[in-house]
A and B are shown apart, each in its own frame.
Chain A
Amino acid sequence: MGSRRLHGSLLVLLAPLAGCSATLNAPPPVTDISARQCGAAFDLSKPSPMTFDGGKEWSFATDINEAAPCIASAGGSALYATFALPQISTPYVISVTSLVEGSTLFVPRILLLGADGGVRREFSGQALQFRGTGLGTVLRSHPDETYLVVESDPSMVGKTDSRIAEETQVYTVSAGYGAYQIHTGSEARPTFTYSHNGRFEITLTPLELDGK
């Protein structure tokens, strides 16, 4: 009887621990990069490739940290990463989502650049919304855009925010020859700091206009 109780208890205890590893390994928020010597323009010489051919969804997650290239602008310095947009004939959907890591949330500004390096479109501030548990946006590709630049938004860095997150869990507990399920709910309100660093994910998907 005691072992059966232990079995159920272990399940209850271990499930939340699985989610803790990401929090324990989370980088602290970087909110000051004033010591960096930043360039005046984006370095577009080595953009990361995106191997999306217009068919199957393509997804890529990466970290941006203090070693990332930085750019100085009137609004402040920002860390950034550059990507080469797939040059395909069919339009597609670009999703950029910053992921919460512990108390760190990379706050992005998303720029679409032409082949000449000129900014064609920009998405930041109110154009971003939380999607799932991350902060970002979705947008349609344009044929005249060659580069995607994801940079930190210095106007937001250092601010804190929190979100109420509710979830349900189901635990299966063995008892004799059978098993039963326990349904529980929980609520958390993690606080995070908008930062220059953190993790974000880019997903490219075909544009399905049939509205299904």
Chain B
Amino acid sequence: MAALVCLAGCASQPEIPFDKTAASVHTIGVLTPVMQEKPTVWLATDLGQSFGLVGALIDAGMQEAREKKMWALLVDQKMNPRDQFSSVLRQSLEADGFAVKPINVERQDDKYLKAYPSAAENGVDAYLDIVVGQYGYVAAGIASSTPYRPFVYLNCKLVQATTGAVLMQDSIYYNPVAPFGQGKNVSISPDPAYTFVNFNAIENAPQQGAAGLTAAFHATSDSIGRLLR
């Protein structure tokens, strides 16, 4: 069931490479990203998947319980993932030499905006539109050899403010669990420092659990910055 949710939110897209010689971009308006408030805790395979609907319902219940605990853990650590991601993204883009202007937008759905504000409205050269399909923790299976690790799957698009032309478009997978992230999209190996043999291990190391997500946000944000060099 979680895999189906992920498939809906993590579809990759054709890559459109940025060409800095073709477009002068100094100030980027970063639109409020599409991103769930609470992370997903995804067990990519387990025994329940072999037992049809009953197994799926049991799996869904167990996943919901894990996600509630994960959210409580983050609240306890005073970590708001959406704020954290936006902050880290800003740092990455500024480190790459861009001026960053956060732009608050109301999202009607979990997709890219259909129309972007004018350049004059915000005084930016381009808008960065980000759709975080899923993020959180994932384990490929139930065995200790497949531990929980952070993951972030996102799509991003840079649009020229004056013309609406697409300057860059790509998908980034931090810790892709195949079949995700096997195409030509960016694929980032997870930081081995954040390895949890099971979900209890995350609960027992809450600070580390939150730090793992932050590390994933840093890696994906840095990757976006590299796509714009």
**What is A's interface to B at a CB cutoff of 8 Å?**
93, 95, 97, 126-127, 129-133, 137-140, 142, 162-169, 180-187, 189, 203, 205, 207-212
Contact = CB atoms under 8 A, between A and B. Distances in A.
Contact of B178 (A129, A165, A207): A165
Contacts of A185: 44-45, 139-143, 146, 177
Contacts of B221: none
B141 A133 contact: no
A184 B141 contact: yes
Interface string B103-117: 000000000100000
B108 to A, nearest CB: 17
**Interface range on chain B (Cβ under 8 Å from partner):** 35 or more
Contact of A168 (B140, B143, B186): B140
Given A126-B229, A209-B166, A93 B16 contact: yes
10 contacts: A126-B229, A162-B189, A166-B140, A168-B44, A186-B145, A187-B145, A187-B146, A208-B16, A211-B159, A211-B166
Contacts of B49: 181, 183
Contacts of B50: 180-183
B140 A208 contact: no
B188 to A, nearest CB: 7
Interface majority SS on B: helix, strand, loop or mixed?
loop
A184 B229 contact: no
Given A129-B226, A185-B140, A211-B157, 13 more contacts: A129-B188, A140-B17, A166-B138, A168-B45, A168-B141, A180-B50, A182-B50, A186-B141, A187-B145, A205-B14, A207-B16, A211-B112, A211-B169
A142 B229 CA distance: 17
A130 B187 contact: yes
A138 to B, nearest CB: 4
A181 B45 CA distance: 11
Contacts of B14: 205, 208, 212
Nearest to A129: B186
Contacts of A183: 45-46, 49-50
Interface centre among B50, B138, B147, B192 (most CB of A within 10 A): B50
Contacts of A166: 44, 138, 140, 146, 149, 175-178
